Amino acid sequence: MPTTTCLPSPELADQLVELARLEWTPGATGDAAERFGWTPVDDGAWTAAFATNTGHYVVPEWFAAPPEEQAEDEECHLPFCYYYEADDFDEELATGGLSGNIDWLEKHHADDPEWRFERDTGRAHFDAQWRAAVALFTQRLGEPEITVRDGEGESPWNYAAWRCGGNALVVGQCTDNGSYMTFEQALVWIAPYRVGRPFPGAGDFGSLIEC
């Protein structure tokens, strides 16, 4: 089962923690992105707002728009690992010499040298990337307020969540809607999150953070 991975660097993790601790007033996230040196994406090739210059992309494309275009940011996502559960049809395509989803995943981020494609891994490897990212943010934010695993759905997914003032930072796994739900992804999700608002149960975390 293939994965393609680019774990956040320590420097990027520091930036994301700073972003999570900001008060997301109009213009604040855009100022932070400029301070971090993130590059606006405007070539139409990605539905992303910024390239972080570490191989990662910050979505959605309207994140940190100028205040006159959008008064308030709702969330941002930074995917760092994609996983594909191959099936018999993929084997048929490969046997016939035809390209399929595995080949598509191999090409995904192929122009970004920081990403690593591995054809023969598995869900344990996908989970290990999630754990590595959780460890990275635990070093900066302490133990997560909540760590849960959703074992009831079609795919077993993991989540760790921290509160950062009036925001939340979640490292989790969910469907990649950008691939029309073909791939699964692990990502960092940051958004305003009202103080006192409980985190969702394991089965509802995916719908909170998916992109």
Q: How confident is the model at residue 90 (pLDDT cuts 50, 70, 90)?
A: low
Residue 71 has what pLDDT? 60
Q: How confident is the model at residue 104 (pLDDT cuts 50, 70, 90)?
A: confident
Contact between 136 and 151 (Cβ < 8 Å): no
Q: Which of the pair, 89 or 180, is modelled with greater confidence? A: 180
Residue 8 corresponds to which amino acid? P
- Residue 151: exposed, middle, or buried by beta-carbon count in 10 A (0-12, 13-18, 19+)? exposed
Q: What is the rounded CA–CA span in Å between residue 93 and residue 80? A: 27
Cβ contacts of residue 100 below 8 Å, gap of 6+? 89, 90, 93, 94
Identify the weakest region by mean pLDDT among 88-92, 121-125, 174-178: 88-92
Share of the chain above pLDDT 70, in %: 91
Mean pLDDT score, 22-31: 92
Residue 151 has what pLDDT? 87
Residue 170 has what pLDDT? 98
Q: How confident is the model at residue 80 (pLDDT cuts 50, 70, 90)?
A: very high
What is the domain partition of the chain in residue ranges?
3-208
